[in-house]
């Protein structure tokens, strides 16, 4: 049986458990990817998690979300339901960040919520957050894409290999987008070299350094909703990668975009200041935050660049300006200084 109709029926039955007819319109598909299928019916959202998801770990993550309703969107139930070969969870509908209005992005809310999440005591037996594992999976996908393409990857251009001491912001970036499809795989060596320079924990090859904090694991603006919609408070969603680990990882995506020149300084400052004012432990309350952020920001830059090349290779298209900026940042990376490999504040 097709998953989508079954998932839609499950969402409708949850939304109207005592009714035989429904007058609130059809069920809509919010996402249908290999790692998640999500549908909405009225105020109920049903999510089918990735094949192979561990039910015990998912249940622990659901329980954690239910315990922190001021930070994480609480599930409608902590029950995990099998549906075909997938595990399904149920959530209330929330209003997401408007992708067409970047000026309205809730950076202060993101920083505040993350700080509160990191300050919460991790539940016993909660698994590690899956950030490094997702980065490693992105590299594996890149290798697979390169092995399937007839193009031969060539070394990155010399003009893109001048080292920088860290992944610190470079306001002079002027991305040079590729002009032919075969240049997308040629960008891969710079990304793979940057990956190899990361410490083992950031490549999911060793345990993350302690102390361990409660972490989201995949923070970006798509992981926020207002609940109740449309004007309720912001809450973090998506517990698939929730776990214990290095809290700086949750700040790494905006840090990486800022360092690559893709996030304006004002927005980065709003986010970081809100996090620090709320007592977030990932970075010091004042002074230079990059000692903690450098390794995770490098890892997220490599992950995002690897996925960009993979998609460009699959589509037989050149890299766009944003994708090329990420690859250029990877090309500037050098071996991470030993004092930064801890990836967490002292």
Could you give the CA distance from residue 205 to residue 136 in angstroms, rounded to a whole number?
Answer: 9
In this structure, the answer to whether residues 70 and 168 fall within a common structural domain is no
Tell whether 274 and 246 lie within a shared domain: yes
Q: Answer for the pair 184, 149: CB distance below 8 angstroms, yes or no.
A: no
Q: Taking the model in full, what pTM does it have?
A: 0.86
Distance between CA atoms of residues 118 and 251, nearest Å: 11
pLDDT of residue 7: 93
What residues are paired with 81 via a beta bridge? 88
Residues 185 and 320 placed together within one structural domain of the fold: yes
Reduce the DSSP state of residue 272 to 3 states and report it. helix
169 with 133, same domain?
yes
Same domain? 225 vs 325? yes
Q: Do residues 67 and 168 share a domain?
A: no
Q: How far apart are CA 221 and CA 240, in angstroms?
A: 16
Looking at the fold, whether 115 and 190 belong to one and the same domain comes out as: yes
DSSP-based three-state secondary structure for 318: coil
Relative to beta strand 44-49, strand 81-83 is unpaired
Number of domains in the chain: 2
Work out the number of other CB atoms within 10 angstroms of the CB of residue 283: 22
Assigned domain for 345 exists: no
Question: How far is residue 342's CA from residue 346's CA, in Å, rounded to a whole number?
Answer: 9
Q: 3-state DSSP call for residue 243? A: strand
Range of the domain at 60: 3-93
CB 237, CB 227: distance < 8 Å: no
The reported pLDDT for the residue numbered 345 is: 39
| Residue segments in the chain with a per-residue pLDDT below the cut of 50 | 151-166, 168-180, 335-336, 338-346
Shared domain for 186 and 64, answered yes or no, is no
**pLDDT, position 182:** 64
Question: In whole angstroms, what is the distance from residue 240 CA to residue 75 CA?
Answer: 13
Q: What is d(CA 277, CA 191) in angstroms, rounded to the nearest whole number?
A: 35
Specify whether the backbone of 217 is left (phi greater than 0), alpha (psi in -120 to 50) or beta. left
Instruction: Report the chain's mean pLDDT, rounded to a whole number.
Output: 87
Structural domain contains residue 140 = yes
Q: Is residue 80 part of a domain?
A: yes
**What is the structure's pLDDT at 19?**
65
Q: Which pLDDT tens digit goes with each residue over 117-156? A: 999 999 989 999 999 999 999 999 999 999 876 544 333 3
Domain containing 131 — which CATH number?
A: 3.90.1200.10
Q: What is the pLDDT of residue 26?
A: 87
Q: Tell me the CATH number at 43.
A: 3.30.200
Going by DSSP bridges, is the β-strand pair 224-226/95-96 parallel, antiparallel, or unpaired? Answer: antiparallel
346 domain-assigned? no
Residue carrying structure tokens 């990668």: 241
Q: Which two tokens mark 345?
A: 């504040």
Tokens of 71: 């930070």
pLDDT in tens, 50-92: 999 999 999 999 999 999 999 999 999 999 999 989 999 999 9
- Which of 69, 93, 117 terminates a domain? The answer is 93
């Amino acid at each position: 049986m097709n998953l989508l109709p079954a998932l839609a029926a499950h969402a409708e039955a949850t939304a109207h458990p005592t009714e035989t007819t429904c007058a609130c319109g059809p069920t809509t598909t919010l996402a249908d990817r290999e790692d998640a299928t999500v549908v909405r019916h009225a105020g109920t959202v049903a999510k089918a998690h990735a094949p192979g998801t561990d039910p015990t770990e998912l249940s622990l993550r659901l329980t954690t979300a239910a315990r922190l309703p001021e930070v994480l969107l609480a599930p409608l139930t902590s029950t995990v339901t099998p549906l075909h070969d997938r595990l399904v969870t149920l959530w209330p509908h929330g209003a997401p960040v408007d992708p067409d209005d970047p000026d309205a992005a809730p950076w202060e809310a993101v920083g505040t919520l993350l700080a509160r999440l990191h300050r919460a005591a991790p539940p016993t037996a909660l698994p590690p957050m899956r950030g490094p594992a997702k980065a490693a999976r992105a590299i594996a996908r890149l290798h697979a894409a390169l092995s399937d393409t007839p193009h031969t990857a060539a070394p990155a251009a010399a003009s893109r290999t001048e080292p920088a001491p860290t992944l610190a912001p470079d306001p002079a970036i002027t991305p040079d987008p590729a002009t032919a499809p075969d240049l997308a795989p040629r960008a891969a060596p710079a990304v793979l070299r940057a990956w190899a320079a990361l410490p083992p924990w950031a490549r999911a090859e060793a345990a993350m350094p302690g102390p361990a904090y409660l972490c989201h694991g995949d923070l970006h603006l798509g992981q926020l909703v207002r609940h109740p919609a449309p004007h309720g408070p912001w809450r973090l969603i998506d517990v698939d990668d929730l776990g214990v680990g290095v809290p700086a990882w949750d700040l790494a995506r905006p840090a990486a975009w800022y360092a690559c020149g893709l996030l304006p300084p004002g927005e980065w400052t709003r986010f970081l200041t809100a996090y620090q004012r709320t007592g977030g432990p990932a970075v010091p309350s004042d002074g230079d935050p990059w000692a903690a952020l450098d390794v995770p920001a490098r890892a997220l830059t490599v992950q995002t660049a690897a996925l960009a090349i993979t998609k460009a290779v699959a589509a037989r298209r050149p890299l766009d300006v944003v994708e090329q900026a990420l690859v250029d940042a990877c090309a500037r990376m050098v071996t991470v200084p030993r004092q930064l490999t801890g990836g967490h504040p002292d």
